[in-house]
A and B are shown apart, each in its own frame.
Chain A
Amino acid sequence: GAVVSQHPSWVICKSGTSVKIECRSLDFQATTMFWYRQFPKQSLMLMATSNEGSKATYEQGVEKDKFLINHASLTLSTLTVTSAHPEDSSFYICSARDQRKVLAGYNEQFFGPGTRLTVL
């Protein structure tokens, strides 16, 4: 149980294009999903918290117009990197909390396999 998928696994795009990354909870419903970014040999940095049916909450320093987040259903959140530039190249990872476990007091996060973005 508690499986989170991400698509695509990796993507290469040209500078100036937009890239959409999907995060799905496959066997549970998630009212809250999180998006992280990880540079090589560094830790995970939280970019934003995505709540189903409402606007995402972005961390300080993360441009909301550049990193568009949509949490349209209880099993799907998307991150769109708009007008991508080489400095946006990174490993993007999503996570989700199981709604039923949260209601029981367990805020455990389950992570997707990540998406490696390379902007040329």
Chain B
Amino acid sequence: GIQVEQSPPDLILQEGANSTLRCNFSDSVNNLQWFHQNPWGQLINLFYIPSGTKQNGRLSATTVATERYSLLYISSSQTTDSGVYFCAVETSYDKVIFGPGTSLSVIP
């Protein structure tokens, strides 16, 4: 089956710093989503991005489907950005596979 990898697994940032999170997948996918899981467990939709680039405030994402990766950019990080970031891909069999996540801590 398809493999989804995320890097880095853990990241500590000073408030105000920028970061790039990466998601690699081993096969073609129908779509890709990025989520932020807050400390209470709620998954918050960040981007639905099967291909191309999208921006939403301080966050932006780029998916290059032909090269099987997606990037999530966080600029001017804030403490409220802390949590776990997941990418999830949907395969051609209508299965959704989550990556292992990147745990982000933003310190003041």
Q: Which A residues contact B (CB, under 8 angstroms)?
A: 2, 34, 36, 38, 42-46, 49, 91, 93, 95, 106-111, 113-114, 116
- Chain A residue with minimal CB distance to B97? A46
- Tally of B interface residues using CB under 8 Å: 21
> How long is the Cα–Cα vector from A111 to B94 in the complex, in angstroms?
17
- Asked if A93 and B94 sit within 8 Å, CB to CB, the answer is no
Chain B residues within 8 Å of A, Cβ to Cβ? 30-31, 33, 35, 40-43, 45, 48, 86, 88, 90, 94-101
Residues of B within 8 A of A114 (CB): 41-42
What separation, in Å, do the CA atoms of A73 and B45 have in the docked complex? 24
**Residues of B close to A109: CB separation below 8 A:** 33, 45, 88, 96
Asked whether B94 lies within 8 Å of A43 as measured between CB atoms, the reply is no
CA distance A109 to B48 in the complex (A): 9
A106 to B33, CA, bound (A): 11
B5 to chain A, nearest CB (A): 11
Q: Once bound together, how far apart are the Cα atoms of A37 and B33, in whole Å?
A: 18
- Which 5 pairs between the two chains have the least Cβ-Cβ distance? A111-B43, A108-B48, A114-B41, A44-B98, A43-B98
Q: Which residues on A sit within 8 Å (CB–CB) of B35? A: 111
- The residue from A38, A43, A93, A116 contacting B99, defined by CB atoms under 8 A apart: A43
